A and B are shown apart, each in its own frame.
Chain A
Amino acid sequence: MTGKAHCYKRDHINTDEIIPARYLNMDKEADLAEHAMEDIDTDFIKRVKMGDMIVAGEDFGCGSSREHAVWALRGAGVRAVIADTFARIFYRNCINNGFIAIECKGISQKVDTGDTLEIDVEKGIVKNLTKNEQYEFLAIPEFAREIIDAGGLLDYISRKVK
């Protein structure tokens, strides 16, 4: 998959920043998407295009357990988040939604906003087509891959339950 990067060169971007709690009285992706990142990046929603990617520093998605953070980004067209590291619940929520979250140490310092990135999940490589560089990342654990490939946790378990 290929997309343009929106790079936030800082750590600890929290779920209140991704989707402020005042919008948690809604849970549809399209409604949440209108407010994605608005408290730290008011124009994000105007700039973001379908298939874009977010690149950020350490501990991305820390704070609340709200899955609304994943839905807001996906609703806004974001295809994947690549961060130096992720907060735990956000990472789980990504896997459970079949949404690509890639942990790639140091990426936030190498990529700039506007760079075109290509992710090869199989090989564990992010290619920066703009800078002609590539970055390796740790493969997504097999169990998580199974959930992502099933389309998310509920599709994965529904086979078992039914």
Chain B
Amino acid sequence: MGSTITEKILAAHCGREIVRPGELINAEIDVIMCHDVTTTPAIDMLAEKGLSKVAYPERVVVMPDHFVPNKDIKSAEMVAKIRRWAKEQGIEQFYDLGRHGVCHALLPEQGHVRPGTTIICGDSHTSTHGALGAFSTGVGSTDLAATLATGELWFKVPESILFRLNGKLGKGVYSKDVILEIIRRIGVDGALYKTMEFTGELIDDLSVEARMTICNMAIEAGGKSGIINPDRKTIDYVKARTNETFKVFTSDPDAEYSQVFDIDVSNLEPLVAFPHLPSNSKPVSQIGDVPVDQAYLGSCTNGRIEDLRVAAEILKDKKVARNTRMIVVPATTDIWKQANKEGLLDIFMDAEATVSAPTCGACLGGHMGILAAGERCISSTNRNFVGRMGSPKSEVYLGSPATVAASAIEGKIADPRKYLQEKP
């Protein structure tokens, strides 16, 4: 019996030939990403236990993102503490304001994600980096602290579910719609404790960035990780960003999966996930009138340059509806600069949207676009839980960047397809 890519990466990181689902292992961790919210408690815990010394400072990448630029005194104190700590520990990979970004967009962009590596971060959307063929998973602050102290972490080797995605996406349908469809089918705990491995013609066709959107939301189905076997696109993407070497692992044809899903995406429509679960999706053509007070384009799910390009194509020479506000948050500094260079930011501002500095911001109800009671937001983000973007009496609807842009124009949730040219 063969092995999955996940089993191979984990075996290679615990000095074994083969590991099988259910086994408990201690795996070496290659990249430890630290952001503002979950790192400060880890620093305190380590100090308290007399484990202050970071074992491998060169594996640590620090990226404050949730409440930056600092939203209040408490969050300013958190980042100040992380800055002091990084300096004391000799951690050189620190992306402070001005080079900063939403960590799951910034980490691969800056070349820290390589195929075949292991990555952890105190953040559930760490599943994103599996899009480049790494084993990458979210953990809590204690796990983060333990990894900082030792360079390794315990895992139960997960079972894998294989999603074979075939067919071609229609106009106005994106990888966001694909992952919403998968979560709609299997539910928010359909992949609990398991790895979601994505393959097939659709994956081959998608850009590396679009693949990240799919792996990013693996956690919304309860998954431990999402992963995609690296191909030429992956290798090119990584080699353009780092000179570090890496080993490519891929799943064997006879690898064992706990479940296999064959999904044809050809007839998929743009989807919108209704409150208050990401699995609660409906096709955009079947939702009737849902007025929105805010349209939010950003986050680790859909705040990358391709997302901004799609939204700008729709918003060009149009205006955001009078009773609707639109907020655009390029996910990283480089994305912001690139969008500026391409004239996308002008398109957004001319449409009377506003553009913010990179931040996790309102995606998790932090700052920069919080919702009042009774308000509705169509958002390119990943969660529509109660109170996620502000008041517990507000509502969040999830969709693709194109759906967000079209909805901003109409002031209600709208089908993006009528605003787009036919694909060549």
B392 touches A39 (CB 8 A): yes
Interface centre among A39, A58, A87, A96 (most CB of B within 10 A): A96
Please tell me the number of chain A residues within 8 Å of chain B, measured between CB atoms. 43
A92–B140 Cα distance when bound, in Å, is 8
- Whether A96 contacts B150 in the complex (CB less than 8 A), given A16-B386, A62-B222, comes out as no
Q: Is B41 at the interface (CB under 8 A from chain A)?
A: yes
A93–B366 Cα distance when bound, in Å, is 22
A41–B3 Cα distance when bound, in Å, is 46
B46 CB to closest chain A CB (Å) equals: 7
A158–B49 Cα distance when bound, in Å, is 8
Partner of B49, one of A14, A26, A143, A155: A155
Mask for B128-151, Cβ within 8 A of A = 1, else 0? 000000000011111101100110
B277 touches A12 (CB 8 A): yes
Partner of B38, one of A22, A66, A153, A154: A66
- Whether A63 contacts B44 in the complex (CB less than 8 A), given A25-B78, A154-B142, comes out as no
B222 touches A26 (CB 8 A): no
Interface centre among B140, B192, B364 (most CB of A within 10 A): B140
- Whether A40 contacts B123 in the complex (CB less than 8 A), given A59-B222, A87-B222, A88-B193, comes out as no
Q: Is B229 at the interface (CB under 8 A from chain A)?
A: no
Given the complex, which residues of A lie within 8 Å of B150, measured CB to CB? 157, 160-161
B43 CB to closest chain A CB (Å) equals: 10
B387 touches A16 (CB 8 A): yes
Q: A16-B385, A17-B385, A154-B142 are in contact. List 7 more A-B contacts (CB 8 A).
A: A25-B74, A27-B141, A63-B383, A64-B364, A93-B140, A96-B146, A157-B150
Supply 21 A–B pairs (Cβ within 8 Å), ascending by A: A16-B386, A21-B364, A25-B72, A25-B78, A62-B222, A63-B385, A65-B126, A65-B140, A67-B122, A85-B189, A88-B193, A88-B222, A89-B140, A96-B143, A96-B146, A154-B49, A154-B51, A157-B146, A157-B150, A160-B150, A162-B50
Given the complex, which residues of A lie within 8 Å of B24, measured CB to CB? 141, 143
A65 touches B123 (CB 8 A): yes
Given the complex, which residues of B lie within 8 Å of A138, measured CB to CB? none
A47–B45 Cα distance when bound, in Å, is 30
B283 CB to closest chain A CB (Å) equals: 23
A153–B364 Cα distance when bound, in Å, is 28
Given the complex, which residues of B lie within 8 Å of A12, measured CB to CB? 188-189, 277
User: Which chain B residue has the least Cβ–Cβ distance from A88?
Assistant: B193
Q: Is A152 at the interface (CB under 8 A from chain B)?
A: yes
